[in-house]
Amino acid sequence: MNLAAAAIALARKDLLVELRARQAIASAVALAAVALVLVGLAGGPDPDRLRALAPALVWIALLYASIAVADRLERIDRADDAFSGLWLVLPDRRAMYLGRVISLAIFLAVLQLTLWMAAALLLDLPLAIDALALVPLAALSALTAATATALVVALVADAGHRPLLLPVALLPLLVPTFLAGVQASSAVLDSRAGDAATWAAALLIEAALFSGLGLLTYETAASPD
């Protein structure tokens, strides 16, 4: 089985497990909804202010949800020595990183689109036809976030204080992704196609950097010995 086929098989495994258990996505949606409502409440009732804050709100909710999803997927793998089994069986262990990136990216893209719909309802966002560009943007930004998250979650998998360590280690690294994502989605909502394309290019560069580093270092980072 080559690298791509193994990665797709592992991503499929993650998605199937989640479709049957519906734990990661349920907790992520709940977490994201709470974050959206709380920050919306803290921001006050001014609709213009909330509309201006919407991209940042969606992204803050998404970042916290990404931690919940990634942690859940990693814990499933580490339970009952499943991870060690995969480690021994796979000829190219980078497939484990790629598989996790694919499944996380799918989860985060779906979650992001769900959040945009929730934001449109709760924050009265005027979603014009241009807003359809949020769909490919969600896919790209989810991929970018997934490339960093999959690596960091493997790094801290066996560390002590993991619930504290994971956000502390991951969130600062995701700040460039957060910034580019917020700016790109703001540009889409304001129909500024040129700006959106620039920030989407920044997301693409970040995805290339993180996935390059991930492929180079995953085996070192995730080795169970």
Tokens of 186: 């703001």
- Closest contact distance (angstroms) between CB of 9 and another protein is 25
Write the binding mask 139 to 168 for another protein: x where contact by CB under 8 A, - elsewhere. ---------x--xx--xx-xxxxx--x--x
Q: Does residue 37 belong to the site contacting another protein (CB under 8 A)?
A: no
Q: List binders of another protein among 59-78 (CB under 8 A).
A: none
Question: Least distance in Å: CB of 15 to another protein?
Answer: 26
Q: Which residue has the tokens 């991503």?
A: 11
- Interface with another protein includes 215 (CB under 8 A)? no
Residue 81 to residue 88: CA distance in whole angstroms: 11
Segment near another protein (CB under 8 A), from 5-13, 103-111, 112-120, 205-213?
205-213
Alpha helix (H) ranges present in 79-129?
82-89, 94-122
Q: Contact with another protein (CB under 8 A): which of 173, 193, 197, 208? A: 173
How many angstroms separate the CA atoms of 5 and 178, rounded?
Answer: 30
Q: Which of 199, 140, 150 is nearest to 173 (CA)?
A: 150
Q: Residue 210 Cβ, how far from another protein at the closest point, in Å?
A: 8
First-residue to last-residue Cα distance in the chain? 25
Instruction: Determine how many CB atoms are found less than 10 A away from the CB of residue 134.
Output: 23
Chain contacts with another protein (rule: CB under 8 A): 148, 151-152, 155-156, 158-162, 165, 168-169, 172-173, 175-176, 209-210, 213, 217, 220-221, 223, 225
